[in-house]
Structure 1
Amino acid sequence: MADGTARGMWELYEPVHDLVYFAPEARRAADALGMRGFWMGYFALRAAPLGLVSPAVVTGSFYVFHPERVARALPDAWTYATPAQVLAARQEAMDAAMTRLFGPRVVGSAGFAEAADLAWQAAAGADTTGRVLAAANQALERPEKPAARLWQGLTTLREHRGDGHVAVLVSQGLGSVDAMVLKAAGGESDGAFLRETRKWDRAAWAAAEARQRARGRLTDDGRLTPVGAALRARVEESTDAAAEGPWTTLGDAGTDRLAAALEPLARAVEGAGLLPPGNPVGLTRGRYPAGR
């Protein structure tokens, strides 16, 4: 959006959403279901709204992971727990994580309940046409507990933005590794962290770098050229534009109230040291604008 609302809201809700990956409650919930290791838990917890889909569907919708990374987790995860069981476990885990991290008084407050309802309203109003992960999350039932409701609403919004981002990358001809190479070259994330956690080998990464150098987007020492920087700017601006719908629907007043409520929560997650230093989602650390 021209006023930066879509990006500013993402900076606020992304850290709260990320609790499902990095909060100890999430790992304990996955372990209790029988999931074997972090990655099986990650893919099961995130993909559960899609149901019993194949690894190919998850690879395509998640976009940046090597198919082997996904295939090591799915469909084996569904032999330990059904998607419905995983959804119930992640909801309880997020309620427990947010209650511990933000405190029972905050989670039980009227302001927190209002934030949960505003997030749910924004998510319910999002157009999920062509957005598979967002549509699957949007279709879930409204949680009774405010913490779980807030987390699920923010997660729908996060996947809505992510689905739009993938569409932009496809429109720009940027494959999985190419997109990550440019992201790292722009200083948004650590390239080695992205490559290793998404399970791409050095040869695939080097080939993507060579492609981007050949197109004038990377310097020989791996930095963005002006052409590359302009492409990255177009990608981010288009992603922001595609993510503006929920905030237009919610309106300025509701968006501002939700932003004000999310700001201390985002700071609390950041302050707890739960997010990995490789910054895989490219958050601008320490910048949590409240409102516009």
Structure 2
Amino acid sequence: MGDVLARALWERYEPVHDLVYFAPEAHSAADDLGLRGFWMGYFALRAAPLGPVTAPVVTGCFYVFHPDRVARALPDAWRYTTPADALAARLAAVDAAMRRLYGPDGVASGAMTEAADLAWEAALAADTAGRVLGAANQALDRPHQPHLRLWQALTTLREHRGDGHVAVLVAHGLGPVEAMVLKAAAGESDATLLRETRKWDLTAWQAAEEALRERGWLAGDGSLTGAGAAVHEEVEARTDAAAARPWKVLGEAAAARLADLLDPLARTVLDAGLVPPGNPAGLTGGPWESSRPAGG
């Protein structure tokens, strides 16, 4: 049941976390820090919990970005701001975005406080050995305001899951571009969007496609073979399993309750059109009934 909960909760917390990438308040916050362009803001705000790290560290942690994409942003971003100021700016941006989307009554509601406390408990239970981004976010101070406490807890859980996903990809011998080709072939994300935003050229993408064809995972028309679909399903299942501990510790009933509380928050973000179609996270914007936990 823990694996099912891990998938159900991810589908609900990913849209809320993604405000830090797609909400206009986040873009304005990065601009106000003096950061130059979307990608410098993205890398600085997301990597800020790690401290003033350099490009190779972030390239390793984030996994799917071409090193040149990261190197154009870091460490230059730390000439314009500090990790501490970036952390403050991202919370301020999320504060503004959540107040706009959910309204003053929503952020001050009992449901928001309940969700924040449940999510924080789950985030504290996240096993972070070998999970750099999860550990760095888990170590941050507990925000006083419930909606910010909720967002930070969900961010810890999201990065915890992402760290586990990278470990699964490495274990399957799937490099950054091969992982994205597999994801796109499974229909989770748009191939062109993935390749261009992660700054890989067509030659690298085609080489990854050929490598997957040689393994018998990709057909000539770019679709997954039966073996490739099985590998994709195994990667997702193992990612869910690696992300299950916080929900097992929280307990099935409490996790299902959190899923219910997050449901309208996630739908509001998706309905607002902030998360683009074919997004790299693989969010479809669907009703996700197939992963609804028992009692949810």
Band the TM-score falls in, shorter-chain normalisation: over 0.9
Q: How does 1:6-17 map to 2 (within 5 A)?
A: 6-17=6-17
Distance 1:239 1:165 in 2: 5
Shift of 1:50: 0.3
Letter in 2 for 1:291: P
CA RMSD of aligned residues (A): 1.0
C-alpha contact (below 8 Å) 1:43/1:74 kept by paired residues: yes
Decide whether aligned partners of structure 1 residues 3 and 122 sit closer, same or farther in structure 2, where only a CA change above 3 A counts.
closer
Q: Secondary structure at the match of 1:103?
A: helix
**Counterpart-to-counterpart distance in 1, 2:240 and 2:84:** 32
Task: Letter of the 1:275 partner, please give it.
Answer: V
Report the counterpart of residue 70 of structure 1 in structure 2: 70
**Separation (CA, whole Å) in 1 of partners of 2:19 and 2:266:** 11
SS at match of 2:223: coil
Equivalence map 1:148-227=2 (5 Å):
148-227=148-227
Aligned to 1:22: 22
* TM-superposed deviation, 1:287: 2.5
Q: Over residues 107-156 of structure 1, what are the superposed CA-to-partner deviations in whole Å (9 max), with x where a residue is unaligned?
A: 10111111111111100111101000000000000001111111000000
Q: CA deviation at 1:9?
A: 0.5
Counterpart in the other structure of 2:293: 291
Q: What is the letter of the counterpart of residue 97 of structure 1?
A: A
Q: Distance in 1 between matches of 2:199 and 2:111?
A: 41
CA contact (8 A) 1:185 1:222 kept: yes
Any unmatched runs of 5+ in structure 1?
A: none
Deviation, 1:278, is: 2.2
Q: Which runs of 4+ in 1 moved over 6 A?
A: none
Using the size of structure 2 for normalisation, the TM-score is 0.97
- Matched residues in 1 for 2:62 and 2:269: separation? 24
For 1:4, what is the secondary structure of its paired residue? helix
Give the Å deviation of 1:3. 6.0
For structure 1, which segment, 200-209 or 108-117, has the greater mean C-alpha deviation from structure 2 after superposition? Answer: 108-117
TM-score (norm 1): 0.98
- Select between 247-256 and 125-134 the one with higher mean Cα deviation: 247-256
Alignment coverage as a number of residue pairs: 292
> 2:265 maps to what in 1?
265
**8 Å contact from structure 1 (residues 61, 132) kept in 2:** yes
Say if 1:11 and 1:287, in contact at 8 Å, map to a contact too.
no
